[in-house]
Structure 1
């Protein structure tokens, strides 16, 4: 089974939530345009000064997508059982 990687783009400041939401829209457009077999994407507010946009991809595609989109960081994605 191929591991899944969560690519993250961090945004900080009072407008971070709105910026992350907007960035997530661009990620969705990229996914559709490139016809990627995507598992998950979106945005999340961590607190009022930090939010992230994210995309979960198969590890085999991570380098290709990383080089194209330049995420700030990545982590192994583990699905919650149940």
Structure 2
């Protein structure tokens, strides 16, 4: 079992509408730029389409970096990241 401070947090941005996938793909590019600029410990980003009207972009951060990243990027939601996600 992971110690609380070893947890990873998946920060999520939801996009809805007919352009949701394109917007999520584009947002992921900006997340990658942020990871490099801020020299974050992890470089896990991605996007996922749930249906033609809902897609997400996400960034996984170490829990100790979460507040800094959350305050800077204002994700819509977050969840504990499990390696199998």
- Taking structure 2 as the reference length, what is the TM-score of the superposition? 0.90
SS of 2:29 mapped into structure 1: helix
Q: What is the CA–CA distance in structure 2 between the aligned matches of 1:31 and 1:61, rounded to whole Å?
A: 11
Choose the corresponding residue for 2:23, options 19, 27, 41: 19
CA RMSD of aligned residues (A): 0.9
CA drift at 1:35: 1.2
Does structure 1 retain, via aligned residues, the 8 Å contact 2:28–2:47? yes
Q: Aligned to 2:55, what secondary structure does the other structure show?
A: strand
Instruction: Tell me the distance in 2 between the aligned counterparts of 1:28 and 1:39.
Output: 7
Q: Which of 48, 52, 55 is the matching residue for 1:44?
A: 48
* Match 1:59 to one of 53, 57, 63: 63
Q: CA deviation at 1:22?
A: 0.3
Unaligned runs of 5+ in 1: none
Query: Within the alignment, does 1:79 sit opposite 2:80 as a pair?
Result: no
Give the secondary structure class of the aligned counterpart of 1:71. Answer: coil
1:32-75 Cα deviation digits (max 9, x unpaired): 11111114101111111000000011111100100000000000
